[in-house]
Structure 1
Amino acid sequence: MNILPIVISSLCTSIGAIPILFIKNVSHKGKDVMLSYTAGIMVAASAYGLIPSAIKLSNTTILIIGILIGTLVLTLLESLIPHTDLDNSKKDSGNSNLILFIIAMSIHNFPEGLSVGISYGSNDLELGPLVSFAIGLQNVPEGFLIALFLVIQNVNRCKAIFFTTITDVIELCAGIMGVFFGKFFEFVIPYGLAFAAGSMLFVVYKELIPESHGDGNERASTITFILGFI
Structure 2
Amino acid sequence: MNEVFLGTTLSALATGLGALPILFMEKTITHRWRDILLAFTAGIMMTAAMTGLIPESLNNGGMIQLSIGLLLGVLTLTTLEKSIPHIDLKHSKTGLPFDEKALLIIAAITLHNIPEGLSVGVSYSLDQSDTGNLIAFAIGLQNAPEGFLVALFLMNQTIQKWKSFLIATLTGAIEIVAGLLGYYLTTFIGTLVPYGLAFAAGAMLFIIYKELIPESHGDGNERNATYSFIVGILFMILLIEAF
TM category (shorter chain) comes to: 0.7 to 0.9
Deviation of 1:20 (Å): 2.8
Q: Which residue pairs with 2:60 in the alignment? A: 57
Report matched runs for 1:185-204 at 5 Å. 185-204=189-208
Which residue of structure 2 lines up, in the alignment, with residue 43 of structure 1?
A: 46
Give CA-to-partner distance per residue, 1:140-164, whole Å, 9 cap, x none: 2332233234334443332222222
Deviates more, 1:181-190 or 1:23-32: 181-190
2:82 pairs with 1:79 = yes
Relative distance call for 1:12 and 1:56 in structure 2 (3 A) is farther
1:201 is paired with a residue whose SS is helix
Q: CA deviation at 1:121?
A: 4.3
Q: Which residue of 206, 209, 212 corresponds with 1:205?
A: 209
CA distance in 2 between counterparts of 1:104 and 1:134 reads 20
User: Partners in 1 of 2:220 and 2:63 — Cα distance?
Assistant: 38
Q: Distance between the aligned counterparts of 2:123 and 2:19, measured in 1? A: 26
Name the stretch that deviates more: 143-152 or 75-84: 143-152
**Pairing partner for 2:13 from 5, 11, 14:** 11
SS in 2 for 1:183: helix
- What is aligned with 1:20? 22
Partner of 1:146: 150
Paired residues of 1:50 and 1:193 also in contact (CA < 8 A): yes
CA displacement, residues 125-181 of structure 1 (integer Å, 9 cap, x when unaligned):
444323323332322233223323433444333222222222332111222344445
Distance change >3 Å, CA 61–CA 203, structure 1 → 2: same
CA contact (8 A) 1:150 1:160 kept: yes
2:70 to 64, 67, 72: 67
Match of 2:40, as an amino acid? Y
What is the Cα deviation at residue 8 of structure 1? 1.4
2:174 to 167, 170, 175: 170
Change (3 A) 1:65 1:28: same
State the shift of 1:100 in Å: 3.4
Give the CA deviation at 1:104. Answer: 2.8
TM-score (normalizing by structure 2) = 0.80
Q: Does 1:183 align with 2:201?
A: no
Relative distance call for 1:46 and 1:181 in structure 2 (3 A) is: closer
Indicate how the Cα distance of structure 1 residues 145 and 72 shifts in structure 2: closer, same or farther if over 3 A, else same. farther
> Offset of 1:116 from its aligned partner?
2.5
Of the three residues 8, 28, 33, the one matched with 1:30 is: 33
Specify the SS of the correspondent of 2:187: coil
Query: Residue 155 of structure 1: SS of its match in structure 2?
Result: coil
5+ residue gaps, structure 1 = none
Query: Equivalents in 2 of 1:192, 1:148: separation in Å?
Result: 33
Alignment partners' CA distance in 1, 2:39 and 2:134: 24
Aligned-partner Cα distance in 1 for 2:109–2:207: 11
Letter in 1 for 2:112: H
Counterpart for residue 220 of structure 2: 216
Is the contact between residue 37 and residue 225 of structure 1 (CA under 8 Å) also seen in structure 2?
yes
- Greater displacement, 158-167 / 114-123: 114-123
Residues matched between the structures, number: 230
